Amino acid sequence: FFFLMIRRPPRSTQSRSSAASDVYKRQYQRRVHGDSFCISKFHKRKMPPKKKEFYQIVKDEEHFKTFYDDKNIKLTVVDVHPHWCGPCEIMFTVYSSFAASIDDFDKRIEFVTVDIEKVKELFPQIKLTCKPTFLFLQRGQIVDEVIGINIPLITEKVYKYLPYEY
């Protein structure tokens, strides 16, 4: 008899998730339709600073010769690619990981991407394929070469030729 007297409170017609979505809908409508509080909060944000790029794109042969110089003590890793293929975008994240892991990154190493057509006369031995060629330059000399995207091998070569004195 007592269990019939105890009544549960009535359930709301909406579930919790739809009630929460209504809150979000109202917040969105305030932003879109011009509630002054929401405009100042959401629409007047400053843009984040641009990310630093850890590679340079060679514009012409004279620009490339600044890296291919015997006075340059930095290790220069050159990504040589055909113009119809473009630089490998996978390597851009690898460059940023090198920047995070190498002390005094700017003083010791630089990454350069170049179209093969712009430096064809300097490197006649490079064949035109869809695989990029990575040249490792030090003091105006080619010290090593990697053909294709072999990230462990490229990492090994970078740490092998990285200058300790800078």
Spatial neighbors of 66 by CB under 8 A, at least 6 apart, are 72
- Would residue 130 show up in a list of annotated catalytic residues for this protein? no
- Would residue 88 show up in a list of annotated catalytic residues for this protein? yes
**88, 99, 153, 162: the active-site residue:** 88
Kindly list the distances between the CA atom of residue 56 and the CA atoms of 87, 110, 114, 160, 161, in Å, as whole numbers in the listed order: 11, 8, 9, 22, 20
> Do 117 and 81 meet the contact criterion of CB atoms below 8 Å apart?
no
**30, 35, 39, 85: the active-site residue:** 85
Spatial neighbors of 148 by CB under 8 A, at least 6 apart, are 131, 132
Q: Which residues are catalytic?
A: 85, 88
